Amino acid sequence: MDIQSIKNRFGIIGNSPALNHALNTAVQVANTDLSVLIVGESGVGKEIFSSIIHNLSSRKHNPFIAVNCGAIPEGTIDSELFGHEKGSFTGAVDSRKGYFETVNGGTIFLDEIGEMPLGTQARLLRVLETGEFIRVGSSKVQKTDVRVIAATNRDLLEFTSQHKFREDLYYRLSTVPIRVPALRDRKEDIPLLFRKFAADFAERYKTTSIQMDPVAQQMLVNYPWRGNVRELKNAAEQISVLSTNKQITADVLQQFLPQRDNMSMALVPAGQNMNNGTPQGDFASERDILYKLFFDMKKDMNDLKQMIFDVANHQGYTPADPGAKNIPVYNDAEPITHVTYNAQPAGMNTPILLDPGMHHEDVEETLSLADKEKEMINKALKKHKNRRRDAAAELGISERTLYRKIKEYDIKE
Protein backbone atom coordinates (compact mmCIF):
# COMPACT_ATOMS: atom_id res chain seq x y z
CA MET A 1 0.00 0.00 0.00
CA ASP A 2 1.48 3.36 -1.05
CA ILE A 3 1.75 6.42 1.19
CA GLN A 4 -1.09 8.33 -0.47
CA SER A 5 -3.46 5.39 0.12
CA ILE A 6 -2.43 5.38 3.77
CA LYS A 7 -3.15 9.11 4.02
CA ASN A 8 -6.58 8.71 2.41
CA ARG A 9 -7.50 5.77 4.64
CA PHE A 10 -6.51 7.41 7.90
CA GLY A 11 -7.39 11.02 7.05
CA ILE A 12 -3.84 12.35 7.09
CA ILE A 13 -3.31 15.70 5.36
CA GLY A 14 0.11 16.91 4.23
CA ASN A 15 3.03 16.25 1.93
CA SER A 16 6.03 17.45 3.92
CA PRO A 17 9.16 15.23 3.69
CA ALA A 18 9.30 14.77 7.49
CA LEU A 19 5.68 13.53 7.59
CA ASN A 20 6.21 11.19 4.65
CA HIS A 21 9.34 9.75 6.27
CA ALA A 22 7.44 9.02 9.51
CA LEU A 23 4.63 7.33 7.54
CA ASN A 24 7.11 5.24 5.53
CA THR A 25 8.74 4.03 8.75
CA ALA A 26 5.34 3.11 10.23
CA VAL A 27 4.39 1.11 7.12
CA GLN A 28 7.73 -0.73 7.05
CA VAL A 29 7.60 -1.74 10.71
CA ALA A 30 3.88 -2.56 10.82
CA ASN A 31 4.09 -6.20 9.80
CA THR A 32 6.68 -7.07 12.44
CA ASP A 33 6.36 -7.54 16.20
CA LEU A 34 9.02 -4.98 17.04
CA SER A 35 8.32 -2.44 19.77
CA VAL A 36 7.86 1.10 18.46
CA LEU A 37 8.42 4.43 20.22
CA ILE A 38 6.51 7.33 18.67
CA VAL A 39 8.01 10.70 19.62
CA GLY A 40 6.42 14.07 19.03
CA GLU A 41 4.94 17.14 20.67
CA SER A 42 1.44 17.19 22.10
CA GLY A 43 -1.21 17.37 19.38
CA VAL A 44 0.83 16.09 16.42
CA GLY A 45 -1.26 12.92 16.00
CA LYS A 46 0.87 10.19 17.58
CA GLU A 47 -2.17 7.97 18.24
CA ILE A 48 -2.98 7.89 14.51
CA PHE A 49 0.43 6.36 13.86
CA SER A 50 -0.27 3.63 16.41
CA SER A 51 -3.54 2.85 14.60
CA ILE A 52 -1.71 2.69 11.26
CA ILE A 53 0.84 0.23 12.64
CA HIS A 54 -1.83 -2.00 14.20
CA ASN A 55 -4.18 -1.99 11.19
CA LEU A 56 -1.40 -2.85 8.75
CA SER A 57 -0.07 -5.67 10.94
CA SER A 58 -0.98 -9.34 11.21
CA ARG A 59 -2.71 -8.46 14.50
CA LYS A 60 -5.29 -6.19 12.83
CA HIS A 61 -8.20 -8.56 13.61
CA ASN A 62 -7.20 -8.80 17.29
CA PRO A 63 -7.84 -6.22 20.05
CA PHE A 64 -6.24 -2.79 20.09
CA ILE A 65 -6.35 -0.55 23.16
CA ALA A 66 -4.92 2.91 23.82
CA VAL A 67 -3.89 3.64 27.41
CA ASN A 68 -2.98 7.15 28.63
CA CYS A 69 -0.36 6.47 31.30
CA GLY A 70 -0.52 10.08 32.51
CA ALA A 71 -4.24 9.88 33.27
CA ILE A 72 -4.13 6.78 35.50
CA PRO A 73 -3.34 7.40 39.20
CA GLU A 74 -0.03 5.92 40.29
CA GLY A 75 -1.68 3.65 42.86
CA THR A 76 -3.90 1.89 40.32
CA ILE A 77 -1.85 1.75 37.11
CA ASP A 78 -0.38 -1.70 37.94
CA SER A 79 -3.87 -3.06 38.44
CA GLU A 80 -5.10 -1.48 35.19
CA LEU A 81 -2.27 -2.94 33.13
CA PHE A 82 -1.67 -6.31 34.78
CA GLY A 83 -4.86 -7.02 36.75
CA HIS A 84 -5.30 -7.89 40.41
CA GLU A 85 -6.57 -10.64 42.69
CA LYS A 86 -9.51 -10.37 45.04
CA GLY A 87 -8.50 -8.76 48.35
CA SER A 88 -5.08 -7.64 47.06
CA PHE A 89 -5.82 -4.07 48.17
CA THR A 90 -8.64 -2.03 49.68
CA GLY A 91 -11.53 -2.00 47.26
CA ALA A 92 -10.45 -5.13 45.38
CA VAL A 93 -13.75 -6.94 45.96
CA ASP A 94 -13.18 -9.24 42.99
CA SER A 95 -10.44 -10.45 40.69
CA ARG A 96 -9.87 -8.40 37.56
CA LYS A 97 -8.01 -8.93 34.32
CA GLY A 98 -5.58 -6.23 33.20
CA TYR A 99 -5.07 -4.87 29.70
CA PHE A 100 -2.13 -7.18 28.98
CA GLU A 101 -4.41 -10.13 29.65
CA THR A 102 -7.51 -8.93 27.80
CA VAL A 103 -5.58 -7.72 24.73
CA ASN A 104 -3.64 -10.97 24.35
CA GLY A 105 -2.76 -11.37 20.68
CA GLY A 106 -3.35 -7.69 19.94
CA THR A 107 -1.67 -4.33 20.41
CA ILE A 108 -1.39 -1.96 23.37
CA PHE A 109 -0.65 1.71 22.75
CA LEU A 110 0.92 3.30 25.84
CA ASP A 111 0.57 7.06 25.44
CA GLU A 112 2.59 9.42 27.67
CA ILE A 113 4.92 6.56 28.59
CA GLY A 114 7.22 9.08 30.30
CA GLU A 115 4.62 9.50 33.06
CA MET A 116 4.70 5.80 33.99
CA PRO A 117 5.97 5.15 37.57
CA LEU A 118 9.34 3.43 37.90
CA GLY A 119 7.84 0.33 39.55
CA THR A 120 5.42 -0.15 36.67
CA GLN A 121 8.28 0.38 34.22
CA ALA A 122 10.03 -2.67 35.72
CA ARG A 123 6.90 -4.79 35.22
CA LEU A 124 6.55 -3.56 31.64
CA LEU A 125 10.18 -4.40 30.90
CA ARG A 126 9.54 -7.99 32.00
CA VAL A 127 6.57 -8.25 29.63
CA LEU A 128 8.64 -6.94 26.74
CA GLU A 129 11.56 -9.29 27.42
CA THR A 130 9.76 -12.52 28.41
CA GLY A 131 6.06 -12.01 27.72
CA GLU A 132 5.39 -12.70 31.42
CA PHE A 133 3.48 -10.72 34.03
CA ILE A 134 1.99 -11.22 37.49
CA ARG A 135 -1.32 -9.82 38.70
CA VAL A 136 -1.23 -7.52 41.72
CA GLY A 137 -1.61 -9.68 44.84
CA SER A 138 -0.76 -12.92 43.02
CA SER A 139 2.34 -15.11 42.74
CA LYS A 140 1.26 -16.90 39.58
CA VAL A 141 3.23 -16.01 36.46
CA GLN A 142 1.08 -15.57 33.36
CA LYS A 143 2.04 -15.31 29.68
CA THR A 144 0.80 -12.81 27.14
CA ASP A 145 1.45 -12.08 23.48
CA VAL A 146 1.00 -8.34 23.11
CA ARG A 147 2.74 -5.88 20.85
CA VAL A 148 3.63 -2.62 22.62
CA ILE A 149 3.63 0.74 20.89
CA ALA A 150 4.61 3.64 23.14
CA ALA A 151 4.44 7.40 22.63
CA THR A 152 5.82 10.42 24.44
CA ASN A 153 6.18 14.17 24.12
CA ARG A 154 9.10 14.09 26.56
CA ASP A 155 12.83 13.58 26.07
CA LEU A 156 13.06 10.08 27.53
CA LEU A 157 16.83 9.94 27.10
CA GLU A 158 17.10 13.02 29.32
CA PHE A 159 14.68 11.37 31.76
CA THR A 160 17.02 8.37 32.01
CA SER A 161 19.91 10.64 33.07
CA GLN A 162 17.60 12.11 35.75
CA HIS A 163 16.60 8.61 36.93
CA LYS A 164 12.96 9.26 36.00
CA PHE A 165 12.90 6.57 33.32
CA ARG A 166 14.65 3.21 33.14
CA GLU A 167 17.44 3.21 30.59
CA ASP A 168 16.98 -0.49 29.76
CA LEU A 169 13.26 0.09 29.12
CA TYR A 170 14.02 3.08 26.92
CA TYR A 171 16.26 1.06 24.61
CA ARG A 172 13.81 -1.87 24.65
CA LEU A 173 10.91 0.37 23.61
CA SER A 174 12.79 2.38 21.02
CA THR A 175 13.72 -0.58 18.81
CA VAL A 176 12.13 1.44 16.01
CA PRO A 177 11.68 5.17 16.80
CA ILE A 178 9.25 7.26 14.77
CA ARG A 179 9.44 11.03 15.09
CA VAL A 180 6.22 12.81 14.15
CA PRO A 181 7.08 16.37 13.05
CA ALA A 182 5.65 19.42 14.79
CA LEU A 183 3.37 21.65 12.73
CA ARG A 184 5.96 24.44 12.61
CA ASP A 185 8.33 21.93 10.92
CA ARG A 186 5.81 21.27 8.14
CA LYS A 187 4.51 24.77 7.49
CA GLU A 188 3.59 23.95 3.90
CA ASP A 189 0.85 21.66 5.28
CA ILE A 190 -0.83 24.29 7.48
CA PRO A 191 -3.07 25.87 4.78
CA LEU A 192 -4.13 22.40 3.58
CA LEU A 193 -5.05 21.29 7.09
CA PHE A 194 -6.93 24.50 7.86
CA ARG A 195 -9.00 24.27 4.68
CA LYS A 196 -9.80 20.62 5.42
CA PHE A 197 -10.95 21.37 8.98
CA ALA A 198 -13.02 24.38 7.84
CA ALA A 199 -14.63 22.35 5.02
CA ASP A 200 -15.44 19.45 7.38
CA PHE A 201 -17.08 21.82 9.83
CA ALA A 202 -19.10 23.54 7.09
CA GLU A 203 -20.29 20.18 5.77
CA ARG A 204 -21.27 18.96 9.21
CA TYR A 205 -23.35 22.04 10.03
CA LYS A 206 -24.51 22.84 6.48
CA THR A 207 -22.84 26.26 6.34
CA THR A 208 -20.49 28.05 3.96
CA SER A 209 -16.83 27.26 4.49
CA ILE A 210 -14.60 30.17 5.56
CA GLN A 211 -11.91 31.44 3.19
CA MET A 212 -8.68 33.28 3.99
CA ASP A 213 -7.02 36.09 2.08
CA PRO A 214 -3.26 35.76 1.33
CA VAL A 215 -2.14 37.93 4.26
CA ALA A 216 -4.25 35.98 6.75
CA GLN A 217 -2.95 32.71 5.31
CA GLN A 218 0.64 33.86 5.77
CA MET A 219 -0.14 34.81 9.37
CA LEU A 220 -1.60 31.34 9.85
CA VAL A 221 1.58 29.74 8.50
CA ASN A 222 3.88 31.85 10.69
CA TYR A 223 1.96 31.23 13.92
CA PRO A 224 3.91 28.86 16.27
CA TRP A 225 1.03 26.34 16.88
CA ARG A 226 2.41 24.84 20.07
CA GLY A 227 -0.72 22.68 20.28
CA ASN A 228 0.05 21.53 16.72
CA VAL A 229 -2.72 19.91 14.64
CA ARG A 230 -5.10 19.78 17.59
CA GLU A 231 -4.76 23.53 18.19
CA LEU A 232 -5.11 24.30 14.48
CA LYS A 233 -8.32 22.26 14.29
CA ASN A 234 -9.75 24.04 17.33
CA ALA A 235 -8.92 27.41 15.77
CA ALA A 236 -10.58 26.46 12.46
CA GLU A 237 -13.78 25.42 14.20
CA GLN A 238 -13.78 28.46 16.49
CA ILE A 239 -13.39 30.86 13.56
CA SER A 240 -16.07 28.99 11.59
CA VAL A 241 -18.54 29.41 14.46
CA LEU A 242 -17.77 32.91 15.68
CA SER A 243 -16.77 34.84 12.59
CA THR A 244 -19.66 36.74 10.98
CA ASN A 245 -17.70 37.15 7.75
CA LYS A 246 -16.74 34.05 5.78
CA GLN A 247 -13.85 35.95 4.15
CA ILE A 248 -11.18 35.99 6.85
CA THR A 249 -8.65 38.83 6.84
CA ALA A 250 -5.51 39.17 8.93
CA ASP A 251 -7.31 41.53 11.35
CA VAL A 252 -10.09 39.01 11.88
CA LEU A 253 -7.68 36.10 12.29
CA GLN A 254 -5.64 38.07 14.85
CA GLN A 255 -8.67 38.18 17.14
CA PHE A 256 -8.75 34.38 17.35
CA LEU A 257 -5.04 33.69 17.85
CA PRO A 258 -3.66 33.95 21.41
CA GLN A 259 -0.80 36.41 21.83
CA ARG A 260 2.00 33.92 22.35
CA ASP A 261 4.74 36.48 22.99
CA ASN A 262 3.06 37.92 26.09
CA MET A 263 2.24 34.50 27.44
CA SER A 264 5.81 33.27 26.92
CA MET A 265 7.42 36.24 28.62
CA ALA A 266 5.24 35.75 31.68
CA LEU A 267 6.63 32.27 32.24
CA VAL A 268 10.28 32.54 31.20
CA PRO A 269 12.73 32.52 34.12
CA ALA A 270 15.12 35.45 34.41
CA GLY A 271 18.07 35.17 32.06
CA GLN A 272 16.49 32.56 29.81
CA ASN A 273 16.93 33.26 26.11
CA MET A 274 14.03 33.56 23.69
CA ASN A 275 13.81 32.37 20.12
CA ASN A 276 10.97 33.86 18.07
CA GLY A 277 9.04 34.44 21.27
CA THR A 278 9.42 30.83 22.36
CA PRO A 279 11.37 29.83 25.50
CA GLN A 280 14.45 27.69 24.88
CA GLY A 281 13.16 24.46 26.43
CA ASP A 282 9.81 23.74 28.05
CA PHE A 283 9.28 23.60 31.78
CA ALA A 284 10.18 20.06 32.82
CA SER A 285 7.59 19.92 35.59
CA GLU A 286 5.36 21.96 37.83
CA ARG A 287 8.39 22.56 40.07
CA ASP A 288 9.85 24.97 37.53
CA ILE A 289 6.69 27.07 37.54
CA LEU A 290 6.58 27.12 41.33
CA TYR A 291 10.24 28.10 41.58
CA LYS A 292 9.65 30.96 39.14
CA LEU A 293 6.74 32.29 41.17
CA PHE A 294 8.59 31.83 44.44
CA PHE A 295 11.71 33.74 43.42
CA ASP A 296 9.72 36.57 41.81
CA MET A 297 7.58 36.99 44.95
CA LYS A 298 10.59 36.76 47.25
CA LYS A 299 12.42 39.43 45.26
CA ASP A 300 9.39 41.74 45.39
CA MET A 301 9.03 41.25 49.15
CA ASN A 302 12.72 41.89 49.80
CA ASP A 303 12.69 45.02 47.63
CA LEU A 304 9.69 46.34 49.56
CA LYS A 305 11.25 45.60 52.93
CA GLN A 306 14.53 47.20 51.91
CA MET A 307 12.71 50.35 50.80
CA ILE A 308 10.87 50.65 54.13
CA PHE A 309 14.08 49.93 56.00
CA ASP A 310 15.94 52.69 54.11
CA VAL A 311 13.14 55.20 54.71
CA ALA A 312 13.10 54.36 58.41
CA ASN A 313 16.85 54.82 58.74
CA HIS A 314 16.75 58.05 56.76
CA GLN A 315 14.16 59.48 59.16
CA GLY A 316 16.31 58.65 62.18
CA TYR A 317 14.49 55.66 63.63
CA THR A 318 16.68 53.28 65.61
CA PRO A 319 16.36 49.73 66.90
CA ALA A 320 14.43 49.11 70.07
CA ASP A 321 15.46 50.98 73.24
CA PRO A 322 14.22 50.49 76.80
CA GLY A 323 11.79 53.45 76.66
CA ALA A 324 10.29 52.47 73.36
CA LYS A 325 6.55 52.29 72.71
CA ASN A 326 3.94 52.57 69.98
CA ILE A 327 6.06 51.36 66.98
CA PRO A 328 6.60 47.58 66.56
CA VAL A 329 10.19 46.69 65.71
CA TYR A 330 10.97 43.35 64.05
CA ASN A 331 14.49 42.06 64.56
CA ASP A 332 15.73 39.15 62.42
CA ALA A 333 18.73 38.26 64.55
CA GLU A 334 16.71 35.29 65.85
CA PRO A 335 13.20 33.90 65.34
CA ILE A 336 10.58 36.41 66.56
CA THR A 337 9.19 35.53 69.98
CA HIS A 338 8.11 39.01 71.08
CA VAL A 339 7.57 42.52 69.73
CA THR A 340 9.11 45.69 71.15
CA TYR A 341 8.22 49.27 70.31
CA ASN A 342 10.06 52.49 69.56
CA ALA A 343 8.89 56.02 70.13
CA GLN A 344 7.42 57.70 67.04
CA PRO A 345 6.26 61.13 65.98
CA ALA A 346 2.58 61.80 66.48
CA GLY A 347 0.32 60.30 63.85
CA MET A 348 2.71 57.59 62.69
CA ASN A 349 1.48 54.01 63.09
CA THR A 350 3.70 52.28 60.51
CA PRO A 351 5.83 49.40 61.82
CA ILE A 352 9.57 49.81 61.23
CA LEU A 353 11.17 46.74 59.61
CA LEU A 354 14.74 46.76 60.87
CA ASP A 355 15.90 43.76 58.80
CA PRO A 356 14.90 43.01 55.20
CA GLY A 357 15.20 39.25 55.85
CA MET A 358 12.39 38.80 58.43
CA HIS A 359 11.32 35.24 59.31
CA HIS A 360 7.63 36.08 59.42
CA GLU A 361 7.46 36.28 55.60
CA ASP A 362 7.33 32.49 55.09
CA VAL A 363 3.66 31.77 55.74
CA GLU A 364 2.43 34.71 53.67
CA GLU A 365 4.62 33.82 50.68
CA THR A 366 3.67 30.15 50.80
CA LEU A 367 -0.02 30.99 50.85
CA SER A 368 0.43 33.43 47.98
CA LEU A 369 2.32 30.79 46.03
CA ALA A 370 -0.57 28.38 46.34
CA ASP A 371 -2.97 31.10 45.24
CA LYS A 372 -0.82 31.86 42.20
CA GLU A 373 -0.64 28.20 41.26
CA LYS A 374 -4.41 27.82 41.57
CA GLU A 375 -4.90 30.97 39.48
CA MET A 376 -2.62 29.65 36.71
CA ILE A 377 -4.45 26.31 36.64
CA ASN A 378 -7.82 28.10 36.42
CA LYS A 379 -6.57 30.25 33.54
CA ALA A 380 -5.21 27.25 31.66
CA LEU A 381 -8.45 25.30 32.08
CA LYS A 382 -10.52 28.29 31.00
CA LYS A 383 -8.33 28.93 27.96
CA HIS A 384 -8.57 25.33 26.80
CA LYS A 385 -12.28 24.96 27.66
CA ASN A 386 -11.54 22.45 30.46
CA ARG A 387 -9.59 20.10 28.19
CA ARG A 388 -7.20 18.78 30.81
CA ARG A 389 -4.61 17.39 28.43
CA ASP A 390 -4.23 20.73 26.64
CA ALA A 391 -4.20 22.66 29.92
CA ALA A 392 -1.53 20.33 31.34
CA ALA A 393 0.60 20.80 28.21
CA GLU A 394 0.24 24.58 28.52
CA LEU A 395 1.42 24.46 32.15
CA GLY A 396 4.23 22.00 31.42
CA ILE A 397 2.93 19.32 33.83
CA SER A 398 1.45 15.86 33.36
CA GLU A 399 -2.27 15.29 33.09
CA ARG A 400 -2.13 13.18 36.26
CA THR A 401 -0.46 16.02 38.17
CA LEU A 402 -3.07 18.47 36.89
CA TYR A 403 -5.86 16.15 38.03
CA ARG A 404 -4.29 15.97 41.49
CA LYS A 405 -3.98 19.75 41.68
CA ILE A 406 -7.61 20.21 40.63
CA LYS A 407 -8.66 17.91 43.49
CA GLU A 408 -6.24 19.56 45.93
CA TYR A 409 -7.48 23.09 45.24
CA ASP A 410 -11.13 22.00 44.77
CA ILE A 411 -11.25 23.71 41.38
CA LYS A 412 -14.68 23.64 39.77
CA GLU A 413 -14.45 22.97 36.04
> Do 145 and 105 touch, CB atoms closer than 8 A?
yes
The confidence score (pLDDT) of residue 294 equals 58
The C-alpha atoms of residue 307 and residue 314 are separated, in whole angstroms, by 11
The predicted-structure confidence for 45-63, as pLDDT tens digits, reads as follows: 999 999 999 999 999 999 9
Query: Rg (Cα) of the chain, in Å, rounded?
Result: 28
The C-alpha atoms of residue 60 and residue 76 are separated, in whole angstroms, by 29
Helix, strand, or coil (residue 134): strand
Instruction: Calculate the dihedral angle through the C-alpha atoms of 251, 255, 256, 259, rounding to the nearest 10 degrees.
Output: 110
> Do 107 and 119 touch, CB atoms closer than 8 A?
no
DSSP state letters, 271-297: T--EETTEESS---SHHHHHHHHHHHH
Q: How far is CA 265 from CA 78, 256, 294, in A?
A: 40, 20, 16
The predicted-structure confidence for 69-113, as pLDDT tens digits, reads as follows: 999 998 899 999 999 999 888 888 899 999 999 999 999 999 999
pTM attached to this predicted model: 0.63
The C-alpha atoms of residue 47 and residue 220 are separated, in whole angstroms, by 25
Helix, strand, or coil (residue 400): helix
211-248: b or e for each residue (b if 16 or more CB lie within 10 Å)?
Answer: ebeeebbebbbebbbbbbbbbbbbbbbebbeeeeeeeb
Instruction: Go through the domains of the chain in sequence order and give each one's CATH number.
Output: 3-181 (3.40.50.300), 188-257 (1.10.8.60), 281-413 (no CATH)
The C-alpha atoms of residue 158 and residue 154 are separated, in whole angstroms, by 9
Q: What is the pLDDT along the chain (413 residues), one digit of tens a residue?
A: 789 999 999 999 999 999 999 999 999 999 999 999 999 999 999 999 999 999 999 999 999 999 999 999 988 999 999 999 998 888 888 999 999 999 999 999 999 999 999 999 999 999 999 999 999 999 999 999 999 999 999 999 999 999 999 999 999 999 999 999 999 999 999 999 999 999 999 999 888 999 999 999 999 999 999 999 999 999 999 999 998 888 999 999 998 987 654 333 333 333 344 344 434 444 444 545 555 555 566 666 766 767 776 766 665 555 444 444 444 444 444 444 444 444 444 444 444 444 444 444 444 444 557 777 888 888 888 888 888 888 888 887 888 788 888 888 888 87
